[in-house]
Structure 1
């Protein structure tokens, strides 16, 4: 027995939605018929997850390279560089 969850538009809270393809990771996209905006239900940006900055610091201490850290944490190397620059300026 399937259970369905009611999906609402994150912008206008309307439940009048249509499927609108997939993103590059294969996650289903939806488009609201009311406000005509497109969105993902479960959007996650890995660089903003709790604990990522601490993991960048820990891997830097262990002499991991910028590209290696980005690959391990599934974030862009530019994000790693940006964090390290900000940390260096705050010392």
Structure 2
């Protein structure tokens, strides 16, 4: 049996503990690094809009001039998800 260490997606720390289950039944994990901006995370998200790669692609497509509906169609996410992510990026 091989155990692979789980890394936090934000701080890349390996000091991770199990932290219950999500409503969909997926395992939730908690990062024990106090300075980490993300306290809990999942390894497999049910909705693709929660993935960091998809959020990055939303920003990249907006910079390149893609519209909200076009971005949502290409990435298979809701237009509301695209709008909310762009709002977050404008504030930061």
**TM-score with structure 1 length normalisation?**
0.50
**TM-score with structure 2 length normalisation?**
0.49
Work out which of the two has the higher radius of gyration on C-alpha atoms and give 1 or 2.
1
